[in-house]
Each structure stands twice: as C-alpha cells, then as structure tokens.
Amino acid sequence: MPRKIISETVMEFPSIGRYRVRLLRRFPDGDDHNFRTLLDVREYVERTGFVGYTFQGIRLTTLDQVRTLRDVLDEIARTGCIVEGQPESSTSAK
C-alpha cells in the first residue's frame, strides 16, 4: 500500500485575490528526508460546509517553471498589459 503524502507549508506569501500563495514541502509519511519543494498558488474558500483549498490553482515543481512564470510576470508588468485597478472578473475564461 502506498504511503500517504504529507504537505507542510514552508512559507506563505501575500494572497492574490481569493488565491493563497505558499511554498510547500511534500514527502511520504515517515520519510521527511525524501522531500520536494514546490510553489502552490491555490484558491482558498470559506463557505458554509467547506473551508479550505480547492483544486483551482497551479503547482510549480521546478525552478525552471518558477523562472518562466517570473519572466511572464515581468513582461506583463513592463508592458502594462493589465490596467491597474481593473476589476476582477466574476467569471473565469475556460
């Protein structure tokens, strides 16, 4: 039987709207020396009947992925593609 995977929050960053940004450490139960670190950007909800993280979000598992996201965000900030103060859409593009 596979061992349960444990997730520990190593660091929390400021929220982005309804999304929480965390650096996680994941490892098999009982083997905290065999871990991997990842960046998790995940929706967090507080509703009647459910409080916690949803499946809506992304996980970056390699430094190359983090660097690519940084480059994309730098380009967006540099070019001003997104207008400051622009309201968040109530529906997401699918």
Q: Does residue 64 belong to any structural domain of this protein? A: yes
- Structurally, how many domains does the chain consist of? 1
In a domain, 36, yes or no: yes
pTM over 0.85: no
* 67, part of any domain: yes
Residue with tokens 């996980």: 59
CA angle 16, 8, 4 (to 5 degrees): 125
Instruction: Note whether residue 21 is domain-resident.
Output: yes
Query: Is 51 within the bounds of a domain?
Result: yes
pLDDT digits 0-9 by tens, 66-93? 999 999 999 999 988 877 766 666 554 4
Q: Is residue 84, in this structure, part of any structural domain at all? A: no
Question: Tell me: the pLDDT tens digits for 32-60?
Answer: 777 889 999 999 999 889 999 888 999 99
In this structure, the number of other CB atoms found within 10 A of the CB of residue 40 comes to 19
Alpha helices in the chain (DSSP H): 63-79
Here the CATH number for the domain that contains residue 42 is 2.30.31.10
Q: What is the identity of the amino acid at 4?
A: K
Domain residues for 40? Answer: 5-79
